[in-house]
Amino acid sequence: MGLQKKIFSAYKHRRCCWERIIRIRISWVLRVEERLLVCLTPQQQGSRRKDIMLTYHPDAFKRKVQETGKSTVGFNTDAFLNIQGESTTVSQVSTPTATSSAPPRMFSDRCVNVFFQEWAPLFPVLHKPSFLRLYEEYVANPEEMTDPHKLAQLNLVFGIAGISSNLPERQLIVACEQQWRSALETVLMDNTLVTLQCLVLALVYCILKADYTRLQHYKGIAVGLSHRLGLHQSQKRFSFGALTTETRKRVFWTLYTVDW
C-alpha cells in the first residue's frame, strides 16, 4: 500500500508539473503563429486564424477531452493560456561583453523569489536555505564567484524564473543561459550530486524553451549519473546525513518527473 501511494503521489506531481509547462508552451505557440501571419495574404490570414482558434481555443480543447469520455467538470481550460513568454536563442541576442557579470539585483531578486514560490514546489531540487546563502555570497561579490557548480545553479534559477515570466527580459535571460551552459560544460562529467542538481535544472529550462536537442543530451547524462550515484536504490543502504539523504530522494524523484 505504501508503494502504491508513492506511485500515485508521483503521478499527480508529474501531471501538475506538465500542466504548467503546457500552459507556457501553448502561449509561445500562439505568439509565434501571430508573427507568422504577417507573411500571409489577408485571405490566408483569415483561414489560418480559424485553424488556430479550432486548435488552441480552450473550448476546442475541452471538446477534445470530452470526446475521450472524460469529464471536464472543474477543469479550467483558460489556465492553459494565461502565461505569455518568448523563446530566444543565444545567437539572436548580442553577446554580453562581460559574461561573468551579475544581472541587475532587481532582476535576480525577483527570479529567486519566483523560483522558490512557483517552481521549487514542483521541482524540489535545491535546498532553499543553502541556495539563499549562496545567493547572498554571490550578490555581495559576484566577481569572486568562480565555482562552476554554483554559477550554473544561480544562472539556471535566474533563467527558469525569467523565461516563465509574463514579460521576459530576453537580454538578461540569454546572458544567464550563456553563463550556466559554460559553467555546466566544465563539470558535466563529474560524478557528484551537485552536478546532477544542475543537470535537472537544465532539463527544466530546456523543456520550457523547447530546446529538445540539448534536452535529450542532458537527460541521457542525468539518468546515467543518477544510477551511478545509486539514487534509484534504497537510501538506507548509504550512510549519508539527513539533509543529503533527503536531497538525494528529491533529486531522484524530480528527475523521474521530467524524464517523461
Which pLDDT belongs to residue 210?
Answer: 85
Q: Looking at the domain assignment, is residue 91 inside a domain?
A: no
Identify which has the larger pLDDT, 163 or 259: 163
User: Would you tell me how many other CB atoms lie within 10 Å of the CB of residue 191?
Assistant: 10
Q: Please provide the average confidence, as pLDDT, over all residues in the chain.
A: 77
Average pLDDT over residues 166-188: 91
Express each pLDDT in 12-57 by its tens digit: 555 565 565 555 555 555 555 555 555 556 666 566 555 555 555 5
List of residues 6+ apart from 56 with CB closer than 8 A: 26, 29, 30, 81
C-alpha distance from residue 52 to each of 27, 31, 61, 166, 218 (Å): 12, 11, 12, 21, 33
Q: Looking at the domain assignment, is residue 103 inside a domain?
A: yes
d(CA 257, CA 19): 12
Residues 138 and 162 occupy one common structural domain? yes
What one-character DSSP code corresponds to residue 102? P
> How many domains does the structure of the chain reveal?
2
Least Cα distance to 210 among 120, 87, 32 occurs for: 87
Least Cα distance to 120 among 181, 212, 204, 178 occurs for: 204
Average pLDDT over residues 233-243: 85
Domain final residue, candidates 62, 84, 106? 84
Average pLDDT over residues 114-140: 93
Q: Looking at the domain assignment, is residue 90 inside a domain?
A: no
Domain final residue, candidates 84, 107, 142? 84
Note the pTM of the prediction, 2 decimals.
0.65
The packing angle between helices 148-163 and 128-140, to 10°, is: 100
**Most confidently modeled range among 28-32, 75-79, 168-172:** 168-172
Q: Looking at the domain assignment, is residue 142 inside a domain?
A: yes
What one-character DSSP code corresponds to residue 210? T
The packing angle between helices 212-228 and 242-258, to 10°, is: 140
Residues 18 and 75 occupy one common structural domain? yes
Q: Which three cell numbers stand for residue 106?
A: 532587481
Which pLDDT belongs to residue 166?
Answer: 79
Domain that holds residue 24: 1-84
Residue 210, Cα to own-chain centre: how many angstroms?
10
Q: Is-contact 143 135, C-beta < 8 A?
A: no
Which pLDDT belongs to residue 79?
Answer: 46
